[in-house]
Amino acid sequence: MSAHDVGREATEQGGGALKKVGSRAAGRAVGKAGKYIKKLLVRFLKQLILSIGKIIASLVGPWAVIIIIGLLLILGVLSAIPFSDWFLGGNARSDAQKNADLKYEQQFKSAAEATVAELWDIEADSSWKTQVVKTVKPSWGIPAGLVRYEILVNQNEKIELDDYDPDDLIKSFTPSFSYTKISDDTNRYKHVVACTYNETDKETGETKSWTDTETTYTESKRASHDVLTNISLDYGNMEIKPLKRYYPGGTLQPTDNWEQESTSSSENCTTTTYKQYDHTTVDDRYAPSLSVDGQAFQKILIDLGVSEDDMKLFYEFVTTADPDWNPALYGGDASNFPGEWLPGSASVPDVVLRYEPIVRKYLELKGMAEHTQLILAVIMQETGGRYLDIMQSSESLGLPPNTITDPEVSIQAGINHFASVYQSAGGDIELTLQAYNFGGGYISYAKEHGGHSKEVALAFSQMMAEKNGWKRYGDPLYVDHVMRYYNATNVAINIPPGEQIFDVQNVLNIMSEYLGQPYVWGGKGPSEGFDCSGLISYAFGLIGIDLSGNAHTQYNKTVPIDESEAKPGDLVFWETYKKAPSHVGMYLGDGKFINSGSSLGVSIDKLSRWKNYKFLGFRRVIK
């Protein structure tokens, strides 16, 4: 039964109020504007009533009290009427109905959890299971979105949510699990029989003792068992490789190590039995990637009653209910670039650029073609295009370094790995890049420690190095090392004329011409390069504004403004290497700014990435 069919059978709900489907966040996302306008209207009415009341009080006297009370009663009635219609929320829902919403939301979540409950019984590392569950579990926002979409389509009908069974709605998105029976795991035994003999020399009376040792080997098959090797959905597939480990030690290759199993004695002989065995499980060293067919996913939605023309709206319903869901992996519009990400281009040589068609091909299969240039920057960092395993993907497949000798195979495996950590990271590019280098285990660690940062990456690297007995683990500065080959471009500023005394877009366009150019201490122009103040003074100088000097001088040439009043075109300052303004950039809005920094050169960066430096605030250029 489609969502549309279910909606037709819905009946009027007790209390006459229409129930919403998702969380309160879903209602906020759609109704925020209406509620805000209502708030302003109520505030205006209050002020108007008070003003009228004062006038009346001065003219009429005690009768004003009665009139004001009457007006307040009217205001109370207005407040009780929902400003927006039922879909926008308003005051239409009672506390009981809101509690019912939360209960219904939990039913969606439980239905989603039930689809992957089987995975928790898999013999594998717990963090691996967590990653796989998160990857293949259908978002609870999908059935919630189907119901909300049906409510929107049938907005003139009152519905009862009991008519919508979360288990039925999520059935089309439920994964199935395939297993392979493993019957070649083997027990190996080493039996060491040591017999001690004594012999007395009849002439001398001396007793001689010696021990003869005999070693034999036997084998037996271990009990067969099933190992998960594939997870499939109607719109995607995840291949899971089996991995045979050798014990004792759990190594990937047989060793000469044995564990003692038993000892027995008979007369002058002692038999000691040692054991080795191999055991096959899933390869839980790396989280496998899910290959998603975005078109197949949308076909399922269409079959369930979602119009193809409404697909973008439906995806918004899902992400509003479940912000962790990434529409880009399911054929959705990824142009918003989650995580304050900015599209850009890679500054790479032709030896890397020649792989662009292959990179784009495999990213398109993942619905992630917008990251083509970023992957080229990754290739530049990994090998510079000089090795056949150009994305250094061998180890992600459990192979020794540089085993792969086909660049396309390397790209395919590398993109699978990138897509996997991208989804686990919720679309956070910096977290994705660092996890590409460290492995998927870094994602949960970073989230537990406040998100990705250089400090968190370094702590993780040190922890893993110590755990494995290595001198170092991965590259904790991997994000910066990739980003030096990637330039954010095509940034447009939406700012009304007159907000600044200069054309902000014009200044940004001037600076953007040099994106990717390395930082040069004391650099003031294109031929020599730029430092932070040099970029500012050069760009503003071209439009006739004198901001010459270093960051401290530019600080003194501008005036402070409150953060709440900051607009694109304002300057931002930090203390870095001294107790004075020593770094400057131009604010672009939404937490972004353009600057020339020592690690990324001329680049568009995020204020949050500079949180370890003392922020000196926003300042404005004035006449």
Which residues are catalytically annotated?
A: 532, 583, 595
Distance of CA 62 to the CA centre of its chain: 64
507 within 8 A of 523, measured Cβ to Cβ: no
185 within 8 A of 280, measured Cβ to Cβ: yes
Residue burial 177-202, b: 16+ Cβ < 10 Å; e: rest: beeeebeebebbbbebbeeeeeeeee
Q: Where are the alpha helices (DSSP H) in 154-243?
A: 166-170
307 within 8 A of 344, measured Cβ to Cβ: no
In terms of Cα–Cα distance, which of 488, 478, 477 is closest to 378?
478
413 within 8 A of 404, measured Cβ to Cβ: yes
In terms of Cα–Cα distance, which of 579, 584, 623 is closest to 607?
584
CB atoms within 10 A of CB 565: 9
Q: Where are the alpha helices (DSSP H) in 16-173?
A: 24-60, 63-80, 95-114, 126-136, 141-153, 166-170
Question: Which residue pairs, CB below 8 angstroms and at least 24 apart, start in 512-516?
Answer: 512/594, 514/602, 515/344, 515/487, 515/488, 515/489, 515/602, 515/603, 515/604, 516/347, 516/484, 516/485, 516/486, 516/487, 516/601, 516/602, 516/603
Strands (E), 528-610: 529-530, 559-561, 571-575, 583-589, 592-597, 601-606
| Close Cβ partners of 357 (under 8 Å, ≥ 6 residues apart) | none
Q: How far apart are CA 160 and CA 148, in angstroms?
A: 12
